[in-house]
Amino acid sequence: MQSFIVMQGQTYLEEKELGMIWARKQGSGGSLPHFWQRVQEVKEGDRILHYVKGNIVAISVAKTGCKIAPRPSSKQNHDERDDHGYLVELDYHELEVPVNIRSKFDAILPHLPIKYSPFQEDGNGNQGYLYPCNEELCIKLLELISDSNIYQVDEEQLEFAISTVRQTERNSFIPMLTATETEVKTKIRLGKQKFRRALVPLWAQKCALCEIELPELIRASYSKPWKDSTDLERVDPYNGVLLCCNHYALYTKGLIAFDGQGRLHITTEIPEEDYGKYSIHSKMKIARNEKNKPYFKWHKRNIFRG
């Protein structure tokens, strides 16, 4: 199962009424933006979160994969230029309480990918149509949706008649939300387990910097984080390095990095006189594999706070 975020705006009401999303097959000048091409990636069972005017307002489940079809319309005289495009039929579940992105943005920001993020750094939505929603971002959004639409509603229901409670229990929204969260968390757990199993022997089961080898203190550290990686990169053992808890924290937060030769780089945010506290020094070098090189370079370019 994959997850996506669709930026609908004025198209939301009509597309919800028709139970679909649709994108043109061809853009101006023959080119097609990535956010229209991405509709082709949607498969039956995938989840789509619907963003309208600053809020997540619905979650839908894809009833079909993408297919080529004329644009459906509830209007009799729709634009003929829209006749050929990518169509996905959806089962919409509208939220009782929309989730405002800007008001929750501090919790959302750490999970946004560097490339193809649906949201800008100020919390506003990016222009476009369909964006990927990585599993970590999906879980955070599901948590925010649950807080507003399940737990809060449950407390309010205590004041209502029992028939209202039963009606809510029959709603398919909560089972769908629970199934989505379970499947997404399972994908992350299994992927990270596979990554760690393959990574540990590459580094002789000890921290690459300080050689601590107590398993409880060892962490499988991604160079290119889960949120920015493809499915293959997420389980590629060369997309990471084995580190102790302290060095893991320094690496994932961008306070240290490795270059293509395995040399350690230390952020200027750490005073040189404090290097000893963190068991690091400027001349350290690790025995990296050639396959680590592109991932180390990505991390140094995108994560390192030099």
Give SS3 for 281: coil
pLDDT value at residue 75: 61
Average pLDDT for 35-60: 97
Say if residue 233's pLDDT is above 90: yes
Confidence bin at 152 (pLDDT 50/70/90)? low
Residues 6+ apart with CB under 8 A from 251: 221, 241, 243, 257, 299
Sign of the C-alpha dihedral, residues 118, 124, 126, 129? positive
Which pLDDT tens digit goes with each residue over 246-268? 999 999 999 999 999 999 999 99
**Burial class, 32, CB count within 10 angstroms (exposed 0-12 / middle 13-18 / buried 19+):** middle
pLDDT value at residue 82: 53
Helices (H), strands (E): how many in the chain? 10, 11
Provide the terminal-to-terminal Cα distance of the chain, rounded to the nearest Å.
37
Which domains, ranges and CATH numbers included, belong to the chain?
A: 3-170 (3.10.590.10), 196-302 (no CATH)
Q: Over pLDDT 70: what percentage of the chain? A: 89
Say if residue 121's pLDDT is above 60: yes
> What's the pTM value of the predicted model, to 2 decimals?
0.87
pLDDT value at residue 28: 67
pLDDT value at residue 37: 94
The letter for the amino acid at 106 is D
Q: Give CA angle at 192 (191, 194), nearest 5°.
A: 65
